[in-house]
Chains A and B, each alone.
Chain A
Amino acid sequence: MLRAEDYLVGETAWCPGCGNFSIRESLSEALSELELQPHNVLICSGIGQAAKIPHYIRANGFNGLHGRALPPALGARMANKDLKVIVESGDGDSYGEGGNHLIHNIRRNPDLAHFVHDNQVYGLTKGQASPTSDQGMITGVQVSGVAVPALNPLSLALVLGAGFVARCFTGEKEHLKETMIAAMQFEGYALVDILQPCPSFNKVNTFGWYKKRVYFPEIENVQDWSAAMEMSRQWGEKIPLGIFYKSSRPTFESSVVALEGEALAWRSFDPLSVAHVQNEFL
Chain B
Amino acid sequence: MEVNILVGGAAGQGMETVMNLLGKALVREGYGLVYTKDYMSRVRGGHNFSRLRIAGGKPWSTVESIDVLVALNEETYNLHREKLVPSGRIIFDPGHFTLPEYEDRGVPVELQKLAEEAGGKVMANTVAVGALLVLIGQQGETVEELLKETFADKKGVAEKNITALNSGMDAAARYCSACFTLPPKNESEGMLFIDGNQVLGMSALASGCRFLSAYPMTPSTGVMNYLAAKSRELPVVVEQAEDEIAAINMAIGASYAGVRAMTCTSGGGFSLMTEGLSLAGMIETPLVIIVAMRPGPATGLPTRTEQGDLEYVIHGGHGEFPRAVLTATSHEDAFYRLNKAFELADRYQIPVLFLSDQNFADTHRSVESFDFSRLNYNRYLAEEGQFEKPYQRYRLTESGISPRILPGQFADQVVLVDSDEHDENGNIIEGAEPRQAMVDKRMRKMPALAEEMDEPDLYGDPHPETLLIGWGSTYGVMREAVDALSASGVKTAMLHFSDIWPLPQKRLRSLLPAVKMSCCVENNCTGQLASIIRRETGLLIDRSILKYDGRPFLGHEIIAEVEKNAES
Q: Which residues in A have some Cβ–Cβ distance to B below 8 Å? A: 10, 13, 37-40, 42, 44, 47, 52, 54-55, 58-65, 68, 70-80, 82-83, 100-101, 103-104, 256-259, 263-267, 269-272, 274-275, 277-278, 281-282
Contacts and interface: CB of A to CB of B under 8 A. Distances in A.
Interface string B408-431: 111111111111100000111000
A271 B375 contact: yes
B552 interface: no
Contacts of B275: 65
Most interface-central of A38, A58, A68, A272 (chain B CB within 10 A): A68
B244 to A, nearest CB: 11
B237 interface: yes
B408 A83 contact: yes
Interface residues of B, number: 71
A75 B249 contact: yes
6 contacts: A61-B418, A63-B417, A64-B279, A68-B246, A83-B257, A100-B242
B312 to A, nearest CB: 20
A61 B426 contact: yes
Contact of A68 (B208, B230, B245): B245
Given A71-B245, A72-B256, A82 B408 contact: yes
Given A61-B417, A62-B256, A74 B250 contact: yes
Given A13-B428, A42-B257, A274-B206, 14 more contacts: A59-B414, A60-B408, A62-B253, A64-B252, A68-B276, A71-B253, A75-B256, A76-B257, A264-B259, A275-B206, A278-B194, A282-B28, A282-B192, A282-B369
B236 A271 contact: no
A258 B235 CA distance: 4
B211 A63 contact: no
A263 B408 CA distance: 11
A76 B407 contact: yes
B387 interface: no
B243 interface: yes
A49 B354 CA distance: 36
Given A38-B414, A257-B232, A281-B193, A100 B258 contact: no
B568 interface: no
Contact of B202 (A37, A40, A277): A277
Contact of A72 (B249, B259, B406): B249
Contacts of A58: 414
B246 A79 contact: no
Given A38-B414, A64-B279, A267 B235 contact: yes
B114 interface: no
A264 B210 contact: yes
A71 B426 contact: no
Contact of A38 (B236, B276, B412): B412
A33 to B, nearest CB: 19
B234 interface: yes
Contact of B258 (A10, A71, A264, A277): A264
